[in-house]
Amino acid sequence: MTQNAAPETLGDGEPEEGPEESPEEGPEESPDGKPSDGAAAPRPRRVRRVLTWSAATLALLMVVGAGAGYLYYRQLNDNIKKDTLNLGDNKVAEPTPNAAGQTPLNILLIGSDARDSEENQQLGGARETFGSTPLADVQMLVHLSADRSNMSVVSMPRDTLLEIPKCTDPEDGTVYPASDGRTMTNQSLGHGGPGCTVATWQELTGIHIDHFVMVDFAGVVSMADAVGGVPVCVDANIHSRDSQGHGSGLKLEEGTNYIKGEQALQWLRTRYGFEDGSDLARAKAQHMYMNSLVRQLRENATLSSPNKLRRLAEKATEALTVDPGLDTVKKLYDLSTELRKVAPERVTMTTMPNRYVGARVEPTEDAEKLFRLVREDIALDGKDAKPAKAEPEAPKGPADPAADDADIAVQVVNGTRTDTLAAAVGRTGTVRDALKEQGFTGATADTTSAVSAKRTVVRYPSADLEGDARRVAEALGIPADAVKRSTDVSGVTLVVGADWREGTAYEAPEDDNTTPESAQALNGADDEACMHVSPGFTW
């Protein structure tokens, strides 16, 4: 594998192109993320606003604390912008401590495409969007295990279709209504700020999020410059530019190249030229970059130049927006100390398992499995020891107790369809009848809904129905952790999953704690990873 320095030009005397992508990358989108002409593209095509910070953000967290706490403390604190952690109504409970009294940390990394400064406008391109509502074009959940032995990272594609919950800005009381149906997840940032992106993640995953860190264009460039370049690999010469001018402009020779500055931003934004040209390939490139950057930082833990460290500290803090729990350099330093406890070989990067819906994607059953592993603090690399679990605490009682069984209205939905099996016939009627025999005379069978659920779950829309939902689960022997609040339902709803395809007695399946193959796991110590270049973009 050859090693190449980051080129000063793009070859043959051609000046380096900026990272702007053409606005003509795909059909014009409507607010719900669908092409306005109704056409379904074979894979996602992007319009304007493409950037990806994931890689730099985690490393930025780790470096800000590494030495900045001793430089211009007050000035640096003033540089950091603050925003509310969670703007939603669904406040997921904090995880129960393990036997040693330790709890995991979950940090949501957000990449904003804001063109809110001259520097961000110049770096981000798409100048006609200067000052427009920003999008959360990169979203990554970083899970630090309770014992600090491992770290899991889950990326969500920016065009994932889901429901954005109602978000309320506590500063001025502005209420942003829940989305009318499913929309692209990157629009959550425009519903009051990063706190709504956090609320959207918690609603989807059931994972309690402790902090968020949002970074802009300038932060990516300053990080790559500060470490003197990050090694990345391509399996052929690449130039991310087609005959119509689409692409990031990235131009590299085959093998390992050390990239920094705007070239690093190009790598993170490149879609044209990597594998199938989709956002999923771009996420893979981001994971490779992040792993490599973290390895660089660990190998060069102390930056030799005080001036370089000062500039890094200033640039990094200016690029950050965080929740109040991380609003000082000291707090960032404490967090970075925790993150640095994890060796690269115990870091696992994943992408939320998904399937295409036209030109967009949606979570699959494997996505829920991945979220469960994170919720239960199970290492995605499969190297967890068998810990001695603390005695589970009795679940906190609902604010509104259950009604009498006969007065509980519960709708039964057939969710037994899987990627390989059709829905089991007659399940709604069978389970409804079993409920009626137990006294739930208000049970009904929904024979029209077509859903797919790997595990059986009882959903409820609001706190006043939580007691009813728990009572239904108890009567059927469904575990308490399978009772979920959800805005997808209007009343207590029992979704009979693929784990209950026959019979009237529910038996909870043995948990499979292996990371799904569809999550495309990449180990943090893998320094052999190389991006595949599409033949049409080589030179």
Q: Count of alpha carbons within 13 Å of 236, Cβ hemisphere only?
A: 14
Beta-sheet pairing, 354-357 with 320-322: unpaired
Q: Where are the domains of the chain?
A: 3-378+520-537, 405-496
Q: Which two tokens stand for residue 22?
A: 């053409």
Quote the pLDDT of residue 396: 63
> Which tens digit of pLDDT belongs to each residue from 261-275?
888 888 988 989 999
**pLDDT averaged over the chain?**
81
Quote the pLDDT of residue 34: 38
Quote the pLDDT of residue 1: 54
Quote the pLDDT of residue 19: 36
231 band by pLDDT with thresholds 50, 70 and 90: very high
- Counting residues of the chain whose pLDDT is more than 90, the rounded percentage is 50
> Which tens digit of pLDDT belongs to each residue from 505-514?
999 887 789 9
62: enclosing H helix or E strand: helix 54-67
> Which tens digit of pLDDT belongs to each residue from 173-197?
899 999 999 999 999 999 999 999 9
Quote the pLDDT of residue 487: 82
379 band by pLDDT with thresholds 50, 70 and 90: very high
Beta-sheet pairing, 161-162 with 238-239: unpaired
Contacts of 477 (CB under 8 A, 6+ apart): 505, 506, 507, 508
d(CA 11, CA 270): 18
Quote the pLDDT of residue 15: 31
Q: How far is CA 388 from CA 261, 394, 508, in A?
A: 47, 18, 22
Residue 116 has pLDDT above 70, yes or no: no
> Which tens digit of pLDDT belongs to each residue from 24-49?
333 334 334 333 443 344 443 333 33
3-state secondary structure of 347: strand
Task: Please give the single-letter amino acid code of residue 440.
Answer: F
- Counting residues of the chain whose pLDDT is more than 70, the rounded percentage is 76
Residue 430 has pLDDT above 90, yes or no: yes
Packing angle of the helix pair 217-226, 261-269 (nearest 10 deg):
120
Alpha helices in 97-210 (DSSP H): 118-124, 194-205
Query: 131: burial class by Cβ within 10 Å (0-12, 13-18, 19+)?
Result: exposed
pTM for this prediction: 0.71
Which range scores top for mean pLDDT: 34-48, 384-398, 516-530? 516-530
Q: Which residue has the higher pLDDT, 302 or 491?
A: 491
d(CA 96, CA 90): 18
d(CA 86, CA 324): 11
Mean pLDDT of 228-240: 93
Indicate the CATH number for domain 405-496: 3.30.70.2390
214: enclosing H helix or E strand: strand 211-215
Neighbours of 331 (CB within 10 A): 19
Query: 86: burial class by Cβ within 10 Å (0-12, 13-18, 19+)?
Result: buried
d(CA 289, CA 283): 10
What CATH superfamily is the domain 3-378+520-537?
LCP protein (3.40.630.190)
Quote the pLDDT of residue 3: 64
Quote the pLDDT of residue 286: 85
Quote the pLDDT of residue 280: 84
